[in-house]
Amino acid sequence: MEFIKPGIDLDFVGKRYIAITCSLILILVGIISLVIHHGPKFGIDFKGGTIVQVKFKQPVAIDKIKNGLETIRLKGSAVQQFGDASHHEYLIRTNQALTNDENFKEEVSSAISKSTGAKVDIRRIEMVGPKVGQTLREKALFALFYALLFITIYISGRFEQKWMVSAVMAGLLIGVVYFFSLFSVSIPLLIAVALLVSLLLFWQLRLKFAMGAIVALIHDVTITVGIFSLLGKEFTLPIIAALLTIVGYSLNDTIIVFDRIRENTNRYSRRPLDVNINRSINETLSRTILTSATTLVVLICLFFLGGDIIHDFSFALIIGIVVGTYSSVYVASPVLLFLEGTSTGAAPEKAGAVAST
C-alpha cells in the first residue's frame, strides 16, 4: 500500500515564511515564559533537596500530611497527589537535603501516621545535595552544547567535505568555553554566547548544511523547553536525556533530507536550489511521515500507560518528535536557501519561476 504517491509536489519552500513566523512566535512565547518564571523549573536533580513518595490505603487530606511534616523540621514542604487519585499516593518535596536512612523513614512515617490517623507506606526517598545539583545542572548544559557542536562537525564533513575547518573551529570554541568556565562565568550565559559565536562562524565560513542543522536543533530544544516552562513542568535528568534524544532524532531526519538535496543538486545542477530543495522534501516525505508516526505511537503508549515516573519524559519526546519533523522541512532546509541567496545575490523565487517555464 502506497502511503504517499510518487511524484507528489507540495510547495513546502513557498510556505517557509508562514512556518518561520509560527516558529518565531512559539520561541518568543517560550522565552517570555522562562523570563517570567526566572528560568526553568528545576527538579531536585538540579537544585537539590529531598523527595518522599508515600502511599495510603485510604484517602487523606494534604493539609494533615503537611501538619505532620511540620513536627519533624519539614515545615513548608510541598505535597501533591501522585498518579491516579484512587491509588492514594503523594509526593513530598522539600528544598532541604536530608539523610536517607531508616531513622528518617521511621520519623516521617510516624509523624504522618499521627497527623492523618492512617497507616503510611514510604515508597521511596530521593536526596540530592545543593552542590551536586548545581554540578549536574552545569554538566547538563555542557552536554547539550557539545552534542550540538560535534554534530556540526559531522554535518560539515559529511556534506561539504570541510572536516578540518569545522574541527579547528570546534576545538577553538571548546577551548574558549573551558577557559571562561574557570573564571566562574555564568554557565547558561557562556553556552548562549558560544552558540551565537558558532552561528556567526558558520555564516562567515559558508557552512550551509551545518548552519541549517544547528539552527533546526536549537529551534527544537528551545520550543520543547519553552512548552515545559509554560506548563510548569520540572526539568530533571530524564528530561535532559529526552532533549538529547530529540537532538539525535531531529538530526537523523534532517540528514535524510539533506542527503537527498545533495543528490538532486549534483544530478540537476542547472535547477535553482529552491526547486531541488522542494523536490527533495517531497521525495523523502513518505519516509519522514511513516518514521515519525510509528515513533509517536510508541511514545503515546508510554505517555498514557507507562506510569507517572516516565510521564514527563515521554511528553518531552512527543513534543520533540513533532517539532523535529517539522524543523527538518521548514527550518533546516530553508536555511540552505537563505544562505545560498545571500552568497549569490540571486532571488530564489524568480529563479524557480524561470526554471519552471
Query: In 3D, which of 277, 246, 291, 9 has the Cα closest to residue 151?
Result: 246
Whether 24 and 75 share a structural domain: no
Mean pLDDT of the chain: 83
**Average pLDDT over every residue of 36-62:** 86
Between CA 47 and CA 135 the distance in angstroms is 9
Residue ending a domain, choose from 77, 99, 128: 128
| Phi, psi for 11 (deg, rounded to 5) | -90, 80
We report the CATH number of the domain holding residue 75 as 3.30.70.3400
Residues 229-249, mean pLDDT to the nearest whole number: 89
Domain contains 250: yes
Number of domains in the chain: 2
Question: For residue 3, is it within any domain?
Answer: no
Structure-model confidence comparison of residues 58 and 95, the more confident one: 58
Beta pairing partners, 54: 90, 122
| 215 and 74 inside one domain | no
Whether 68 and 186 map to the same domain: the answer is no
The parent domain of residue 98 ranges over: 49-128
* DSSP labels, 252-292: HHHHHHHHHHHHHHHHTTTS-HHHHHHHHHHHTHHHHHHHH
Distance CA 156, CA 214 (A): 11
pLDDT at residue 75 tops 60: yes
Least confident of 53-67, 153-167, 205-219, 241-255: 153-167
Same domain? 28 vs 58:
no
The dihedrals phi and psi of 243, each to the nearest 5 degrees, come to -65, -40
346 and 226, same structural domain? yes
Of 74, 96, 128, the position where a domain reaches its end is 128
Same domain, 187 and 275: yes
Domain annotation covers residue 4: no
Please report whether residue 283 resides in a domain. yes
The answer on 203 and 144 residing in a single domain is yes
Query: Are 122 and 136 members of one domain?
Result: no
Say whether pLDDT at 320 is over 90: yes
Q: How far apart are CA 259 and CA 134, in angstroms?
A: 40
Q: Give the model's pLDDT for residue 355.
A: 39
